[in-house]
Amino acid sequence: MDEGARQRVGARFAEAMAAHFPQVEGRFAESLPLDATVAARLAHTLVASLRLSRAQMWRVDKPVGTDGYLPLTLTLDVTDGATGEVVFSHTRSEIAQGTWAPEAVAGEIAARLPDQLDATMQRLVADAAATWQPWVQQMRVIGRAEDALIIDGGRDRGLRVGDSIGTDGRVTWVGPDYAAVRTVLSRPEIGEVLSRRAASPATSLARPAVLPVIAAVPPGYAIPYLQQIFGEELARGGQYMPVPVNPAFSRLRTLALEEAQAPPAPARSLPDFIATLQIVALPSAAFASNVPGVMIERHEAHAFATLADRSGRIVGAFHGTGRITDEVAGDMRHSVQQRRDTAVRNALNDLADRIGAFRPETGFVELADGGDAPLIADPGGVLPLGAQMPVLRRVSGIDGRRDVLVPVGDIRTLAAEPAGIRAAQAGLGQVGLRRGDLVPTLRGGPPLRSRRALMRCRGADGALALDTRGGVAMTAWPMAAELGFAGGAGVALFDGDLPARLAGLGVEFGEWKDFPAATARDPQECFTPVIGIVPAAAGGYDLTVGYTLFGGGTIAGAKLAGGGLQSLLTPSRMPADAPAEAVSAMLQFDLVEQVLPLALKAAGGLSLGD
């Protein structure tokens, strides 16, 4: 789309917004006084933007004419001018279609695009206006503890750690019905009301927030489109709240503040979890069925995800599948691109549902000793080494509540000792930690068999290492390999590429520089996936799946341990005259079916030596 077309769409979008949202202003903060600062204008502004996340062309050639399809996906985002938080997002997908001569399809689709884009946008804005329900959250200051304000709203009111509230307040801890808030300059009195605006129900805001980061996509797919599919299904499940981002607006916001030499505006709260997604669409298979004149067409996609907490540790590994089998007679068939797209959507929806079934709980362990090198009593062995986490202190007598918890510092776990875990203070300055202070822990997923912190090994070229043996490649293995280790090994696993993937999001969130998940770390141990696929007798394949542990962060380090499992794969039966590409595609389907469970078992059987 050229610049002229973009401007025309923008003008039509502005007209539609003005027609459906009475509070829309034509110019930035035009209702504010002329001498209002840039920061003040941002603080009183919500910005609406339009995103085109999908515009493709599908075709189905037939004996007479060709069916052409134009799938479009548009998203309307409303972004808080002060924080950069996307407070409201609404998406609409439509498909236009027609039948033309084969050589005319591309031109006809291109000619229809402007009108179809405008019609979809008009319906999107109307739908969004019908669901737009902004409101103001108000909480009362009920006490003070450890230099923090205590307010009378917590998870029950949709607050999360890192939320901005009041003039310059930031939430530092959230309890069931209270929250701790620290301010920069303002000094609210007890009884004073602090406010923040929201556009989602409190029940949605109170859910743990998940930031989707997509690391691998099938050819021809835009990351925002896949993020939208995953996020909508994750939100529909009711357990988590996806965190949409609007990088384009955040860059403009930062430039506006810098040009005005204004102080940094408050930023949005950090996510509770980061979901790193990798999606693969396998080649489709088409072959004759046992019924004359009927073809079998099979399409398959897989979505893999690891879920990391705020420390960057992977706490869950998940696999979603999208599988479609069509029986095609004559010309009654779908476009291959359309069915592959449906398989990708189904895989993402299945993945979101599986993540939604993951229900971690927050527990607490105590400091057995305080000081600069505190000792954490961890009889259950739930704390990994190398993790950074806050330290909380119990405070009683706040507005009749039994106890409230207030953050007093941060620590990083260093080494296991007979009496617990030795740690070091991780903040900018040393604080007075005490015996009995609490460290929050996340309980969920497979139990730790070892406190050792590992990452994926890298090769001499710096790329993630794969030990591949045999002459047959498995398309999904580079994405699935880490999933097997994360789900089965029972170690403290960190994604070494996560800080780089998150690097561009620093302007989106507050306290980013202190966000452990976005901070690079030097691994002391690493693992490399091993796979061997070797043709065997009677058309089968000998499979070897396992993992090798090395010291340091590369395969050049000393080998520490290794192990794997073997199995025989018998491929799905195919007609004798099936095309070679269909046979190859079916083999890839079979490999995913058999290799992934084998990888989980192999990781679980590793001897970790501690």
CA dist., res. 166 & res. 186, Å (int): 9
Q: Give the distance, in angstroms, between the CA of residue 465 and the centroid of all CA atoms in the same chain.
A: 24
Token pair, residue 576, equals 């004798």
Closest CA to 566 of 585, 541, 538, 592: 541
Q: Please classify residue 270 by burial: count the beta carbons closer than 10 Å to its beta carbon, then call 0-12 exposed, 13-18 middle and 19+ buried.
A: buried
Topology of the domain covering 135-198: Thrombin, subunit H (2.40.10)
Q: Give pLDDT, residue 543.
A: 97
| Nearest of 397, 395, 417, 422 to residue 406 by alpha carbon | 395
Extents of the domains making up the chain? 1-133, 135-198, 361-443, 452-605
Reduced 3-state DSSP string for 214-243: EEECCCCCCHHHHHHHHHHHHHHCCCCEEC
DSSP 466: -
Series of mean pLDDT values for 10-residue runs along the chain (610 residues)? 87 94 81 77 82 91 90 91 82 94 94 95 96 89 93 90 87 93 91 87 81 94 93 91 77 62 66 95 94 93 95 92 92 85 97 94 88 84 80 90 88 86 80 90 76 89 93 93 90 90 76 79 90 93 96 92 95 93 96 96 83
Give the C-alpha separation, 135 to 150, whole Å. Answer: 22
Instruction: State how beta strands 46-55 and 66-80 pair.
Output: antiparallel
Partnered with residue 546 across adjacent β-strands are: 530, 564
Closest CA to 426 of 377, 373, 384, 494: 373
Rounded Cα gap, residues 87 and 295, in angstroms: 48
Q: What is the pLDDT of residue 35?
A: 78
* CA-to-CA separations, 556 to 273, 467, 531, in angstroms, rounded: 32, 13, 19
Regarding pTM above 0.85, the answer is yes
Closest CA to 260 of 36, 45, 84, 30: 36
Give rounded-to-5 percent helix, strand, coil for the chain.
Answer: 25, 40, 35
DSSP state of 267: -
Q: Tell me what pLDDT residue 14 has.
A: 92
Q: 464 pairs with which residues across the strands?
A: 458
Give the span between the Cα atoms of 247 and 505, in whole angstroms.
7
CB atoms within 10 A of CB 477: 22
Q: How many residues does the chain have?
A: 610
Type of residue found at 134? P
Give the model's pLDDT for residue 389. Answer: 86
The DSSP output letter for 537 is G
DSSP 87-113: EEEEEEEEEEEEEE-GGGHHHHHHHHH
**Residue appearing with tokens 């006809």:** 108
Angle between helices 477-488 and 580-604 (to 10 degrees): 20
Integer Cα distance of 298 and 108 in angstroms: 29
Eight-class DSSP state of 40: H
Calpha distance 250→267 (Å, rounded): 10
User: Which DSSP state fits 418?
Assistant: T
Q: How far is CA 31 from the centre of its chain?
A: 37
| Among 365, 382, 371, residue whose Cα is nearest residue 423 | 371
What are the Cα distances from residue 231, in Å, to 74, 111, 241, 348, 581?
Answer: 15, 32, 8, 9, 34
- C-alpha 330/C-alpha 62 separation (Å) is 9
Burial 163-190 (b: 16+ CB within 10 A, else e): bbbbeebbbbbbbeebbbbbbeeeebee
pLDDT of residue 136: 85
The whole-number pLDDT of residue 30 equals 79
Residue 547 has which token pair?
């993992």
Cβ burial 562-586 (10 Å sphere, 16+ → b, else e):
bebbeeebeeeebeeebeeebbebb
Token pair for 120: 């979809």
DSSP string, 363-390: EEEEEEE-SSS-EE--TT--PPTT-EEE
**Structure tokens, 300:** 């398959």
